[in-house]
Chains A and B, each alone.
Chain A
């Protein structure tokens, strides 16, 4: 299933850095999301788009992850030539990630 089924997201910007939150609709899904949506996975998802590193912060009590992506905004909001200079749409793009739900798969097989 897509991450969109499990989580919602908002993007913020500071200079050339973009941050994307990934927040579970249901706290019970947080462990699955935390396992599947790693910094490496997000970095690969935005390959070619984000030039710097991707860091991940966790707020388990809120069921939330925060991804900080350096070099994501074409030199920064104020001078970027991009149509979406703020990178506001990146949060929607992350929700496209495919999530492998091993537990659900097992239940289906039973």
Chain B
């Protein structure tokens, strides 16, 4: 049976670069996919684009393309990525420049636009899923609204001969489903195959998270050579079943256990994984080891899509100020707790307007809270963390200042104080009928 080999060259925007080079050179790939767009990334990219119309795409796009384009061109490996972020067309121009610089004449680069539906969402009657409030209620705080596009425009761009397809917001699994639809000629109403192709995409989209990354737990789940982690390859057949593997002589491991963890990652009801193209059904998936670093995933299916697209809405939510300081030696925890009390009281005395604050001890109770962290052991060092939400950056700065001033005014022996502020871009979501979103494809040649 004919198979298609897809590699995952990145699972987030800051991911390692050299595993993708290994995949391009030694993976015997048909397609190499880079998933680099987290929930909030596109709103931040939209802010960057407002400041500079030529910006708004992934900051590592040029570096990644420079690293893999020579091998991809030489071996006929086609690239799909959402590194276009808020500006896929400018991203395509940037890739074209890299191709010219590398002497790769005639490289065909496609940009897919149409996910940006900010105007539509502002003008229409849409409500936010989280609050049931109208989107328009966000007013001038609204930054971005991007619909999750499906696989169809990606498959179409590939059918036009694109060697690189660059999207903005698209469903992560669609970056993998698009090449499969193109390569096998799957119908966009073949729910079983679209469901299985979605499972393939879901398994691969976080790259190293299926090859032993984010898995190791010494003594329980040991993984070799994580510093040289190899990224995954999916060898997919015409029915959408897949063998997950990786380039030999790379670090990491592909086992039924790594595959199962990734299968359920960010899944709610396994029988109903909502995607733009299909409702994928993971519930009947079978997983079997077929060799060293080789795991076969079969079964699974799908049902007709909902006809609605999820829209990720970015808005300016608030500002956050934070300060940290350490205490060590005997009584470290008691001094840390005293420090938290002092900062809380100082903010009241100074009239700093916080909507919400947290004071905690890193290493003691900062992650799981006091009840789940209860233990009799006495830490030899603690780090105080005090954080609060405000309406302005200036107000947020006052929080870190109060932590820093613990140096001279707080408990004995505080060290290593640090402070920071940040603007919080929040993400909420709404649904739009798919007919309201019209993707378009722009093809450019180097």
Complex-state Cα separation, A76 to B428, whole angstroms = 9
Contacts A12-B267, A89-B368; A62 near B285 (Cβ below 8 A): yes
- List B339-388 residues whose CB lies under 8 Å from chain A: 356-358, 360, 362, 366-369, 371-372, 385, 387-388
User: What residues on B are CB-neighbors of A59 within 8 Å?
Assistant: 264, 270, 282-283, 285
The reply to whether A68 and B367 form a contact with Cβ atoms under 8 Å apart is: no
User: What residues on A are CB-neighbors of B286 within 8 Å?
Assistant: 61
Chain B contact residues: helix, strand, loop or mixed: mixed
Contacts A76-B426, A78-B424; A12 near B264 (Cβ below 8 A): yes
User: What residues on B are CB-neighbors of A16 within 8 Å?
Assistant: 130
Complex-state Cα separation, A45 to B221, whole angstroms = 24
A contact residues, total (Cβ < 8 Å): 40
The reply to whether B368 and A10 form a contact with Cβ atoms under 8 Å apart is: no
User: What residues on B are CB-neighbors of A10 within 8 Å?
Assistant: 214-215, 261-262, 264-265
The reply to whether A25 and B257 form a contact with Cβ atoms under 8 Å apart is: yes
The reply to whether B266 and A13 form a contact with Cβ atoms under 8 Å apart is: yes
Residue A64, interface by CB 8 Å: yes
Contacts A12-B265, A79-B317; A23 near B260 (Cβ below 8 A): yes
User: What residues on B are CB-neighbors of A19 within 8 Å?
Assistant: 264, 266-268
The reply to whether A82 and B358 form a contact with Cβ atoms under 8 Å apart is: yes
In angstroms, how far is the closest chain A Cβ from the Cβ of B5?
Answer: 25
- Residue in contact with B317 in the complex, picked from A13, A47, A78, A89, CB distance below 8 Å: A78
Complex-state Cα separation, A82 to B359, whole angstroms = 10
In angstroms, how far is the closest chain A Cβ from the Cβ of B396?
Answer: 12
The reply to whether A93 and B267 form a contact with Cβ atoms under 8 Å apart is: no
The reply to whether B360 and A62 form a contact with Cβ atoms under 8 Å apart is: no
- List B368-418 residues whose CB lies under 8 Å from chain A: 368-369, 371-372, 385, 387-389
Residue B40, interface by CB 8 Å: yes
Residue A28, interface by CB 8 Å: no
- List A40-79 residues whose CB lies under 8 Å from chain B: 45-49, 55, 57, 59, 61-64, 66, 68, 76-79
Complex-state Cα separation, A83 to B365, whole angstroms = 11
Complex-state Cα separation, A9 to B356, whole angstroms = 31
With A57-B271, A81-B320 given, can you name 5 additional A-B contacts, CB distance below 8 Å? A55-B268, A59-B283, A78-B317, A81-B356, A93-B368
